[in-house]
Amino acid sequence: MPRNLDIEQLTIDRNITHNNTLFSSLIAKVLLSIILLVSLFGGAFVIQAAYRPSDQGLASVSKATQVADTDKQTANLVINTGEDTQANNHLTKSIDTIVNSSVLDASGHIVARRIATVSSRVTGKLNKLNIEEGQRVQSDQIIAELDDRQAKISYQLAQADLTANTARFHELNIVHQHELQRLERQQILFNKSLISEQFLDDSRFTTEKIAAQLTNKKALIDLSKQKVALAQYQLEQHKIRAPFDGVVISKNAQVGELISSGSSGGGFIRTGVGTIVDMSSLEIEVEVAESYINRVHANQKTIATLDAYPNWQISSEVIAVIPTADRQKASIKVRVKLHTTDARILPDMGVKVSFLKG
């Protein structure tokens, strides 16, 4: 009996030992799992820590590049600022020189001494218009043509009348030559007392009469020539020509409209086809107050500055002081000549004029 107990006890002890072994194995697995998880998370942190310094390095390199670019732009800005500063200083010195040597400043406008609104001396319908704004034209260039059918007929009639009078003159001249020969024969016969004096007087009368008619026919020929010239002139007036070299600044008519001279225009009749300006005749016209006119004189040097180009200083001089005053404005007009011919200078532009000492 005691032996059996020992065996049972022994069996019990084995079971207990086995259970302890299983519990220990389970704990070991749990610990191993924890260690593996810790290792995985630790590796992730190590990888992030390993790559983070590289990103910081790239950021540092990018930042250094940006700083270098900023320094380069700053250097360029300094250089450009230096150049602009030098140019501004030069311009400021020039302006200061002008201001210091100027005795008077005045404002005015660019005006043209030669400007014409081209029209026709006859009334007619506009058939052709050969100009546009900004176009350059030459003197005597045809810029427009009117309907000239009636003028052509008048010209042809004048030529026909001239031809007819010339033919009559030649016919009468032949008769006159014949009468002269007859008068010579009559004179010979009268000298021989073969005819009476009455026949001789009749022949002389006829000859002188034909000579007078011949003179009349010659005058008619001259009159016909003048009529032909007048008809040709009127025909030419249907072609409107440029009066001088210049630039067209406005087109005042269109094809199909009636054109007439300024004295007979009105209503729907145009008095001109366009306006032409001689750009070589541009000058400045300023108005100076009466109280300062004593500072201005002819041939005085001036500096002109256009409002459109304030940094452009144009050499000029006073042409004349107009010898009359404007009572309402209490000012006197002064003409200033430009020493420069430039396409940028246009009529009616605003300009400031500095009158210099001396």
Residues 62-85: tens digit of each pLDDT: 443 444 344 444 444 333 444 444
C-alpha span between 87 and 191 (Å, rounded)? 113
Distance of CA 28 to the CA centre of its chain: 100
Query: What's at 127, amino acid-wise?
Result: N
Residues 116 and 278: beta-carbon distance below 8 Å: no
Pairing of strands 274-277, 282-289: unpaired
Residues of the chain above pLDDT 70, percent: 70
- The DSSP 8-state label assigned to residue 266 in this structure reads B
Residues of the chain above pLDDT 90, percent: 53
Confidence of residue 190 (pLDDT cuts 50, 70, 90): confident
284 DSSP β-pair partners: 110, 336
333 DSSP β-pair partners: 287
- In order, the DSSP letters of 236-263 are HTTEEE-SSSEEEEEE---TTSEE--TT
Lowest-confidence range among 29-38, 110-119, 123-132, 148-157? 29-38
C-alpha span between 303 and 193 (Å, rounded)? 102
pLDDT digits (tens, 9 = 90+) for 322-339: 999 999 999 999 999 999
Largest CA-CA distance found in the chain, in angstroms, rounded: 228
Look at residue 121 in the predicted model and tell me its pLDDT. 87
C-alpha span between 38 and 81 (Å, rounded)? 63
| Residue given tokens 């020992």 in the structure block | 6
Q: Average pLDDT over the chain, rounded to whole? A: 79
- The DSSP 8-state label assigned to residue 259 in this structure reads E
**284: exposed, middle or buried (Cβ count in 10 Å: 0-12, 13-18, 19+):** buried
Query: Any idea of the CA torsion for 60, 62, 65, 71, to the nearest 10 degrees?
Result: -80
Does the predicted TM-score (pTM) go above 0.75?
no
- Helix ranges restricted to H, the chain: 2-101, 149-191, 197-236
